[in-house]
Amino acid sequence: MAYDVLTISPTVSSGAHAAGDVMFNLTAVELPSRSCKLINAFMEVASGGGEDDTKIGLLFFGKNTTASLGTLNATADITSGNFTGNEYQGQLLIGLTDGGNLDLDGIDNVALYYSTNAFSTANGTRGGMGQMNMVIKAEADKPYTAYIGGLIHSGSPNFDGTDNVKVHLHIEY
């Protein structure tokens, strides 16, 4: 087996977000093979975006028939038919703190998000110890492309820009 780190830089919007808001719409990620095991995921936000009560869902899709989950920084309003047509594969949650007073993003000007458990509280990040048993599957033909969208689950993060977010996927293939 081989390992890799894949990085995407999605377009986000500035301004405070709320639970249910679209953080970013479907963004392509090129996979090294048709199927990859997601081992872990992290996110960095330069110059802001560090709200300790934030939990963000990274939604994985096999197709991009409808690229928009909704308007950035507004309620996700994609229709059920369009959502299903995108071939939803699963979701990974990321957050900022350990569920107590330990702030895991110790760099002043960069917010560092870590995987979290789906059933923890908003502050329930466990420092990269989320459940990672997901397979990402690409469309059938090369290039092997899958898609990721972002959705705010809790908190009110402000990303302080439109191009300062990077999502890092640790994969096995």
Residue 43: partners with Cβ closer than 8 Å, 6 or more residues away: 56, 94, 112, 113, 165, 166, 167, 168
Give the C-alpha separation, 122 to 53, whole Å. Answer: 5
Residue 31, token pair as written in the block: 């996979």
Mean pLDDT of 94-117: 72
Cα four-point dihedral sign 86, 89, 90, 94: negative
Q: Which contiguous run of DSSP H or E holds residue 85? A: helix 80-85
* Average confidence score pLDDT of the chain: 86
Q: What is the pLDDT of residue 41?
A: 94
Q: ∠ at Cα 164 (58, 87), nearest 5°?
A: 25
Count of C-beta atoms within a 10 Å radius of residue 40: 17
Tell me, what amino acid is at 24?
F
pLDDT-wise least confident of 50-64, 94-108, 113-127, 136-150: 113-127
pLDDT digits (tens, 9 = 90+) for 14-28: 888 999 999 999 999
Tell whether the model's pLDDT for residue 122 goes beyond 50: no
In the block, residue with structure tokens 């093979």? 33
Q: What is the pLDDT of residue 53?
A: 75
Residue 94, judged by CB atoms within 10 A of its CB (0-12, 13-18, 19+), counts as buried
Q: How far is CA 147 from the centre of its chain?
A: 11
Residue 11, token pair as written in the block: 């377009």
Q: Work out the percent of the chain whose per-residue pLDDT is above 90.
A: 59
Residue among 42, 6, 61 nearest 173 (CA): 6
Tell whether the model's pLDDT for residue 46 goes beyond 60: yes
Residue 91, token pair as written in the block: 């979701």
Domains and CATH numbers, the chain: 3-172 (2.60.120)
Tell whether the model's pLDDT for residue 35 goes beyond 60: yes
pTM, 2 dp: 0.88
Strands 35-46 and 110-116, bridge-based pairing = antiparallel
